[in-house]
Structure formats: C-alpha cells, structure tokens
Amino acid sequence: MKEERYDVLVIGAGPAGSVTAKTVAEKGLDVLLIERNTEIGLPVKCAEFVSRHIERFVDTDPRWICAMPKGIIIYGPGGSQVRLLTDGSDAVGYVLERRLFDKSLAQQAAHTGAEVRVKTRAYDVIKKDGYVKGVYVNSAGEDMRIFADVVVGADGVESYIGRWSGIDTRLRLTEISTCAQFLICNVEVDNDNCKPIFDSTIAIAPRGYAWIFPKGDGLANVGLGIGGDISGEGHRALDYLRAFVNDRFPDGQVLAEMYGVIPMSGPVFETVMNWLVLVGDAARHVNPITGGGILQAVQGGAIAGDVIAKAVYEKNVSRRRLLEYEKRWKREFGKALEVGFTIWNIIWRISSQDQVRFFREMAGEIRMKEFHERTFLKEMIKKNPWLLFRFARLIF
C-alpha cells in the first residue's frame, strides 16, 4: 500500500478545514487538505447567511456574495416581529454562494502552499501505541496510508475521525436538527431582510424554525429545520418544507434541493487528543439559537492552525500542548455557544404561552453596533430578564 507523510493532514475542505490548512501552510509546514467529494463546496448544506463579523477573519470577495440584507426580521409566535438592525452599517451580513465561498477558501489554502486533493475519502485512522498517527484513505480508487504529525478532523457533523480516534462524537436524535432547503426562483422576495420564522405550534417547523433568505435576482433560500426526534415518515423536514413553500410561494420554481443535519448539542469540550484536533461542525461549533457555524468555523480554524503549527515546530503535539486550541476557542466564542444552547433548551421547554411572551418582549426594533450572535444573545436576556432565573434552575 502506498504511503505518504505530511506535517499536518486536514480531513474535510469546508471553511474550518480550509482555514486550518491555510494557517498551517502560512507557517511553512507541509499540509495536505483532503475532501471526499469530487468538488469542493458541493453539495451545499447551509442557509448561507453569515454576519459581517466574518470580515475580521476573511477578505470578502464580491463573487461569493449574493445579497447584503440590511436587517433581520424575526417572526415569532402570536404575530410578534423583531427587527434587527446595525448602526453605521448598510448591511447586517452576507448571504453567500457557499459553493464559491468554500472553493475560495480552499484556493487560498493552496496559494499559501497547502496541497489540496479531492475525491479522497478517509476510512480509518492509523494508530500506534494507542495514538493516532495518520489515516487510511481511498484516493480516486487507490488505497493508501497518509501519516502526519497532527491530524485535523474537519469532517462535519458525522466526525468519523473523532469517533475512530476515541472521542465520542455521537449525537442523540434530540441533539440534532434535520433540515431541508429549496433554492426558489420566480418569487417576490424582500431583498433587504432575512426572515427567520418561529412558531409555537407544530404547523411550520416543530422544535425548529423556517427561514427565507434573499439571494438576489428573484432567488431565495427557503428552508426549515425540525427536531431530529420528531422527524419520521410523513412528517420529515422535507414534508414540512413542501407545505410551507406551497402556502407561501405557490408559483415558485425549485432550482435546487438541499438537505442536512445541524448539531444542536452545544460545543464538544473534548476537541483534542495526542496528534489530533477537531474543528468546525466536528467540534460542534454551531450556535443552536441560529444554527449558524460559518463564523466559528473560520475563527476556530485560524486558532487551530496557529496552535498546530507552533506545536509541530516545538516537536510537541501532545494533548497537553494542543489544549491551547481548546482554551482559545472557549475564550473567543465558547461562552456564546453555551449560552445559545441554554436559551434554545429553555425556549423549547417552556409552554407555548411563554414562547409567545418571549418573542413579544423583544418585539419592535433592536439596533446593535454590529450584528453578532453574542450581541444578539445579550439583547435576548436584556429583553427577557426572567431567562436568568431559568438559567439558574438549569445550572443548579
């Protein structure tokens, strides 16, 4: 069996994997970025919205920006509406073209020296003395062994790399949201606003929400997510989405269908082992309140790449050394993920009357200096101080 060796091997060329590979390559190390699909960026499994906070980590490119909505209108149960706006900015964020966005990040990794390889699927890890030393892959039909000083699992919500290595990445049905989304044309879309739609009943999206995000030129991403334990024959996410689209956009034409799973478990706090690091969805870096993970993916990837490069140069890739990554992502965005997870659980544990009250208390216009999940969570608590008592009950 053919063998190869690299300083760092990154498995999965989504935003987290590509940014990790780019950051490592910038430090002068040999890094291989592999992707199991034949084309990076496909299939798309994302609502594609991200706040402008991403500008701190990625240089924006007009080619992968479809729309720049000025606000977010949240439709709550009971008819309440919350409009989120930012001061001093004409847009709260970007609706991306993910297939181009992902390709751009992988291209940046390649430009900095990373080797990128598609149609390369990892199917097991190589262990020695109980530690991960590399992976077995099938690359374009050829089985081979790839060794590395550090293996990075950026392989999404399934995270087989983490599981094979000894990190419990399994998720219960109650810890996931199953999602379906249509790209629709020939519809009248509010290009100035993204529109999440919550409902306290099971009519639209049980234990989840629907969304309408503009993509320009009469296009929109229309999708929804439901609780994984609710999904079943005749009431899957696709069934609810078809009903929603038939009601709201009866004349719309579907150009693409997308399906996926979002981890709603909150962050995994075991994201490193000796020789191994998990990033992005594999590390559960998704905020359950929004289901968004793009920002955490690029931010976490940059942190991981920096820590990994230093560890390799120091010839110390032990868990203790790599824990710097865990400490840093917890400091940068871990608290927001925890709070989001707690609020999400509170919202779906309270009665439908209290859900109506929750959104009614926020109704109206909320202006922020910059739209960011952390800032939004603070506004939620400010408008609903009774949430603090619910926090205390969950903690104690």
Q: What is the CATH number of the domain that holds 23?
A: 3.50.50.60
DSSP labels, 62-126: GGGEEE--SEEEEEPGGG-EEEEEETT-S-SEEEE-HHHHHHHHHHHHHHTT-EEE-SEEEEEEE
**Which residues, including other chains, have CB under 8 Å from residue 396's CB and lie 6 or more apart?**
none
Considering the chain, what percentage of its residues have pLDDT values greater than 90?
A: 66
**Joined tokens for residue 147:** 């060794």
The confidence score (pLDDT) of residue 391 equals: 56
Q: How many residues does the chain have?
A: 396
Q: For 374-390, what is the mean pLDDT?
A: 77
Q: For 52-77, what is the mean pLDDT?
A: 92
Q: How far is CA 230 from the centre of its chain?
A: 22
In a domain, 337, yes or no: yes
| Torsional sign, CA 24, 26, 29, 32 | positive
Tens digits of per-residue pLDDT, 104-158?
Answer: 999 999 999 999 999 999 999 999 888 899 999 999 899 999 999 999 999 999 8
CA-based end-to-end distance of the chain: 55
The confidence score (pLDDT) of residue 260 equals: 92
In a domain, 233, yes or no: no
Pairing of strands 115-117, 31-34: parallel
Tens digits of per-residue pLDDT, 282-324?
Answer: 999 998 888 889 999 999 999 999 999 999 999 999 999 999 9
Contact indicator for 80, 362 with CB cutoff of 8 Å? yes
Q: How far is CA 129 from CA 1, 133, 238, 312, in A?
A: 21, 10, 46, 19
In a domain, 50, yes or no: no
In this structure, what is the dihedral angle of CA atoms 358, 361, 366, 372, given to the nearest 10 degrees? -30
- Residue 37 belongs to what domain range? 2-45+98-171+268-341
Least Cα distance to 322 among 270, 279, 274, 268 occurs for 274
Q: For 189-206, what is the mean pLDDT?
A: 85
The confidence score (pLDDT) of residue 395 equals: 46
Least Cα distance to 278 among 115, 166, 143, 113 occurs for 166
The confidence score (pLDDT) of residue 156 equals: 93
Contact indicator for 323, 308 with CB cutoff of 8 Å? no
With bands split at pLDDT 50, 70 and 90, how would you rate the model's confidence at 375? confident
The confidence score (pLDDT) of residue 332 equals: 94
Determine the residue type at 357. R
Q: Tokens 């009248």 appear where?
A: 188
In a domain, 230, yes or no: no
In a domain, 28, yes or no: yes
**Joined tokens for residue 44:** 């798309």
Please tell me the pTM assigned to this model: 0.93
The single-letter DSSP state of residue 54 is G
| Torsional sign, CA 234, 237, 238, 241 | positive
In a domain, 138, yes or no: yes
Average pLDDT along the chain: 91
The confidence score (pLDDT) of residue 393 equals: 55
In a domain, 366, yes or no: no
C-alpha span between 263 and 278 (Å, rounded):
14
C-alpha span between 394 and 386 (Å, rounded):
13
The answer on pLDDT for 185 being more than 90 is: yes
In a domain, 151, yes or no: yes
The confidence score (pLDDT) of residue 81 equals: 93
37 SS3 class: coil
Total domains in the fold of the chain: 1
**Which residues, including other chains, have CB under 8 Å from residue 170's CB and lie 6 or more apart?**
163
Number of H helices, E strands in the chain: 10, 19
Considering the chain, what percentage of its residues have pLDDT values greater than 70?
A: 96
Least Cα distance to 123 among 136, 134, 133 occurs for 136
